[in-house]
Amino acid sequence: MDPLANQLGTRQQWTLYVTTGTYFGSPWNPGALTVNPVGTMTWTAQTVETGTLSYTVNGVAVTKNVIRQSLVLTDFNGHFGGGIHFDITGCANPAFNGTVERIGILNITQNGSAITLASNETTGVSCSYPGTLTQFGQMGQVSGNYTCSDGEAGSFELFEMTATEVSLAGRFTSTASSPPGCQSTGWFGGLIVTTF
């Protein structure tokens, strides 16, 4: 499935086929292969965790609501070097609005579903983002309240968080109570580092 299929409201459609051919245990005979279209399948993303799968086969229509299934919590523990990109709007002081990109270090400590992300930017500002991790398939989500060393504070939501053996990536939204009115949306990513 195309990764863009999870963008909200995106609708993608495919043709479904039935095939027949040589029996599994017999030598392959390409002349015995038949491929016939029997219907269509459509995926529509509702949220980042849910969607609707509809399909029709030989005139029989089926629609199912689906949700990402989780087996275990992802281990996000680590020391990452990377960057963040975000757009700020709605600030009471319009001078704070705009697009921002920063680099720095992100330390994540996790104990079960309790998780804290501590960022240290090269600007000298550090922030703490404690919350509870929930899992939707391979993607994590964390909500809570944050505070920063420069006085910024507010609520946040991290979502579509993924981790590999060497990297971390995700998206976020935040609403600042200080400075008032600022709304941020963006993405972050980093690689595991050991020397800084």
Distance, in Å, from the CA atom of 177 to the CA atom of 181, rounded to the nearest integer, reads: 7
pLDDT at 46: 86
CB 143 within 8 A of CB 132: yes
Distance, in Å, from the CA atom of 89 to the CA atom of 189, rounded to the nearest integer, reads: 22
pLDDT of 38-97, one tens digit each?
999 999 988 777 889 999 999 999 999 998 776 788 999 999 999 999 999 999 999 999
Whether the bond between 27 and the residue before it is cis, its omega within 30 degrees of 0, is no
Distance between start and end Cα atoms, the chain: 38
- Domain borders along the chain are 3-67, 78-192
pLDDT band at 8 (very low <50, low <70, confident <90, very high): low
pLDDT at 87: 97
pLDDT of 139-192, one tens digit each?
899 999 999 999 999 999 999 999 999 999 999 999 999 999 999 999 999 999
Distance, in Å, from the CA atom of 178 to the CA atom of 195, rounded to the nearest integer, reads: 34
* Domain at 78-192, CATH class: mainly beta
CB atoms within 10 A of CB 42: 14
Distance, in Å, from the CA atom of 196 to the CA atom of 181, rounded to the nearest integer, reads: 35
Q: Would you give the distance in Å from CA 26 to the centre of its chain?
A: 45
What's 51-77 look like in SS3? EEEEEEECCEEEEEEEECCCCCCCCCC
- pTM value is 0.69
143 burial (CB, 10 Å; 0-12 / 13-18 / 19+) is: middle
Residue among 77, 47, 51, 48 nearest 63 (CA): 51
